[in-house]
Structure 1
Amino acid sequence: MPVWSQAGLTDEQIAIEEMAAAFARAELAPLAPVWDRDKIFPVETLRAAAALGMAAIYVREEMGGAGLSRVDAALIFEALATGCPAIAAYLSIHNMCGWMIDAYGSAEQQRRWLRGLGAMETLTSYCLTEPGCGSDAAALRTKAVRRGDAYSLSGEKQFISGAGAGGDAHLYIVMARTGEPGPRGISAFLVEGAAPGLTLGANERKMGWNAQPTRSVTFDDCRVPAANLLGREGDGFKIAMAALDGGRLNIGACSLGGGRRALEAALDYTRQRQAFGRPLLEFQALQFRLADMATELEAARALLWRAAAALDSRHADATRLCAMAKRIATDTGFSVVDDALQLFGGYGYLADYGVEKLLRDLRVHRILEGTNEIMRLIVARDLLEERNA
């Protein structure tokens, strides 16, 4: 039996989760330490995941996607992260980009890109953050100026996951300013990797997520056809925020997956390791800690699934619930991994046992897709607006 509860899931959802977990065990976990050590981005492994429908999870079936729900996606990303949180997280971003095109793209944009994204023949990156504005996304400075049948983009994006991995076939969804200051002046663009004027920075040296590249992306009079405008001018901030609701659930699920893997490892270790003549698992203090780890993961998972269901049904509280779920899931996942490392003692600090990699990979989840401080701000503002209505 799994260390987590499958209560409330349909037979189909259990099968979906078990498929993703089997892929994680067979294709991700054995090589994840090597990818992390050597900074290898396993494109062919990602394409194998795509062949199972995991690169276009909630893109419509008629557009080459799996047509699954956000709850289904949460199950998949949690399961994948038990094998490698860094690769699961990149798949999360890739899926978010595909959803943006499916939800807001023109028929021609959908026809041109979605099937390639679903097969991971084209890789994607989400370009919102800039060197001078992270949490304050509405203050972005990258500009897009209309010149005839094209836009000229100028500016720089920072911390772009997966950037450059697809070469000329890479697709960037870029938020740029076309109008007035603030959110209403932002538009979204589909920028191809071969676009003249697009250059990439060096692969960043990071604490974790070493299995996927992270680079700056610079646009210097980068020509983008007007047909590559996603939605209408001024829709970019709305599109970006709508995408982040789902992205927050995905990264929360990845954190739960890392925590789940750490709990499984801790259970195995405390059963085998002895101290004072008996297995660690027989010490009540350690039993209590393991019980708390499992309970906290279940509680965070329940809120995540509730938020996913709210997003699927377009409930008015969806954004608040997604922010709550992202905050609690990423904090909990990291805390559980930290507790597991403590249970391992000195061995937890060694790369051979895998727990320290989980800790390094999960730490950034509390920052990206909106920091956990911003999640608190979203929740508080929503509560106060509701109270004052």
Structure 2
Amino acid sequence: MDFELSDELRQIREEVRRFGENEMAPVANEYDEKEKFPHEVVEKGAEMGLTGTSIPVEYGGAGYSTLESIVIAEELYAIDPGIAGAVLGTSFGCEAIMEFGTEEQKERFLPDVAAGDKISGAAISEPDTGSDVSSVSTRAEKDGDEWVVNGNKMWITNGSVGDFFVVLCRTDPDADGRYNGFSQIVVEADRDGFEADKITGKLGIRASDTAELLFDDVRVPAENLVGTEGMGFLQQMQFFDATRTGVAAQGVGIAKGAAEGALEYAQEREQFGQPISEFQAIQHKLAEMFTDIEAARNLVYKSAWSVDNKEEQLTTLASMAKEYASRVAVDVANEAVQIHGGAGYVDDFQAERFYRDAKITQIYEGTTEIQKNVIARELLGKGI
């Protein structure tokens, strides 16, 4: 077993880290406080190829593997999760187009996203449908050579800044079976009847845009159907294998950033005439934090390798990685605040922001409880 990253990947990691320290860290508080999407930072990220890390080279992207992409994610999320999500999330939803889209769709949508000229999104959750994806009620009906979309989507990343969205719709309400009759359709934001309402007041990742989407007789051409009609739910489940591994990498990055900040603070902060890092209680906290991060990182790397190699355990590993890494993120961020004491409860240090940002990793792309359900289901051989 080879646990070494290639020289090229280590170099990429160092360059990405410098980008985060130079372009993200100085403005992180500002964008968090204002709940503002960091367009300027995204533009700079596009120049480095960070807006299309997984998009194939032939469509203008960097063509990175899942493993390479999660190493990048870890570094940026260790600097600031909100801005990292904005930069790397500009291509969210493009995974479906890359995996199931036609050549025409790939050429139409992917290059602009890779160049940073457009932002994509995936519209799945609804006000009454979060974890239960099979209960999606947004409908798309065929009318001649067009699809007419009606419905409501909630908690959509890039919702108010996105240029197009891959929307999970019910296209055949009479289809047999709970998981049949769904399709994925690209809906451009400039279509008549489309409306986005930005959601504010979020606990964390406040620089990342989130919105509610409304579709009122939105007409799109028939060629906007992604993949096979009626197979959207199954396509979505494959989509989660990659995105859940990505969220797991976010968790590792958040934990890393929080732990590194706590380590530095513990060596500088003095109590009773000595740095608090000299106290065994603090040393034990740090030892546990960094051990948990290393364990999570290795699980996430294995999950990424599994996705890249289409390994049969990839669904199980993706859910294991997300469940564990997100738990580590929350636990480590909590301990980081504790080590900072009162200073960790205000925004003078990053500890409180990591603490707020960590929680979302246990919620989006399937809650912790859903991940445990998936793991158990796969172990018991029950499939979907």
Alignment of 1:251-330 (within 5 A): 251-330=247-326
Letter of the 2:165 counterpart: Y
Contact kept in structure 1, 2:245 and 2:304, CA below 8 Å = yes
Q: Secondary structure at the match of 2:52?
A: coil
Query: CA offset at residue 91 of structure 1?
Result: 4.0
Query: CA offset at residue 355 of structure 1?
Result: 0.9
Aligned to 1:3: none
Query: CA offset at residue 204 of structure 1?
Result: 3.0
Contact kept in structure 1, 2:183 and 2:226, CA below 8 Å = yes
**What number of residue pairs does the alignment pair up?**
379
Matched, 1:145 2:141: yes
Alignment of 1:66-145 (within 5 A): 66-145=62-141
Alignment of 1:348-363 (within 5 A): 348-363=344-359
CA distance in 2, matches of 1:352, 1:56: 33
Aligned to 2:378: 382
CA distance in 1, matches of 2:158, 2:235: 20
Letter of the 1:376 counterpart: K
CA distance in 1, matches of 2:198, 2:89: 20
Query: CA offset at residue 7 of structure 1?
Result: 5.1
What is the TM-score when the length of structure 1 is the normalising length? 0.94
Query: CA offset at residue 51 of structure 1?
Result: 1.8
Which residue of 174, 177, 190 corresponds with 2:170? Answer: 177
Structure 2, unmatched stretches of 5+, are none
CA distance in 2, matches of 1:135, 1:97: 18
Aligned to 2:187: 191
Query: CA offset at residue 113 of structure 1?
Result: 1.1
Contact kept in structure 2, 1:252 and 1:329, CA below 8 Å = yes
CA distance in 2, matches of 1:120, 1:244: 24
Identity across matched positions, percent: 35
Contact kept in structure 2, 1:92 and 1:247, CA below 8 Å = no
CA distance in 2, matches of 1:47, 1:186: 35
CA distance in 2, matches of 1:358, 1:43: 22
Query: CA offset at residue 119 of structure 1?
Result: 1.2
Aligned to 1:24: 20
Matched, 1:336 2:332: yes
CA distance in 2, matches of 1:182, 1:199: 29
Letter of the 1:361 counterpart: D
Letter of the 1:101 counterpart: I
Letter of the 1:37 counterpart: E
Aligned to 2:55: 59
CA distance in 1, matches of 2:106, 2:252: 32
CA distance in 1, matches of 2:179, 2:151: 17
Query: CA offset at residue 92 of structure 1?
Result: 4.4
Cα RMSD, aligned residues only:
1.5
Which residue of 314, 332, 343 corresponds with 1:347? Answer: 343
Letter of the 1:177 counterpart: R
Offset from partner CA, 1:289-329 (integer Å, 9 cap, x none): 10110000000000000010011000110011000000101
Q: Secondary structure at the match of 1:324?
A: helix
CA distance in 2, matches of 1:296, 1:92: 25
Which residue of 179, 194, 200 corresponds with 2:196? Answer: 200
Aligned to 1:227: 223
Query: CA offset at residue 235 of structure 1?
Result: 2.1
Matched, 1:370 2:366: yes
Offset from partner CA, 1:205-238 (integer Å, 9 cap, x none): 2111211221110101111111111112112112
Offset from partner CA, 1:261-313 (integer Å, 9 cap, x none): 11111111111111111110111121111011000000000000001001100
Change (3 A) 1:75 1:61: same
CA distance in 2, matches of 1:186, 1:50: 33
Letter of the 1:99 counterpart: E
Letter of the 1:322 counterpart: A
Contact kept in structure 2, 1:29 and 1:82, CA below 8 Å = no
CA distance in 2, matches of 1:285, 1:39: 36
Task: Name which of structure 1's ranges 195-204 and 35-44 shifts more when overlaid on structure 2.
Answer: 195-204
CA distance in 2, matches of 1:94, 1:242: 20
Aligned to 1:39: 35
Letter of the 1:282 counterpart: E
Offset from partner CA, 1:315-360 (integer Å, 9 cap, x none): 1100110000001011101111110100000110011112111111
Query: CA offset at residue 88 of structure 1?
Result: 2.0
Change (3 A) 1:112 1:227: same
CA distance in 1, matches of 2:122, 2:82: 16
Structure 1, unmatched stretches of 5+, are 1-5
Q: Secondary structure at the match of 2:228?
A: coil
Offset from partner CA, 1:181-217 (integer Å, 9 cap, x none): 6321110011101011111124332111211221110
CA distance in 1, matches of 2:7, 2:305: 17
Change (3 A) 1:367 1:353: same
Query: CA offset at residue 95 of structure 1?
Result: 3.4
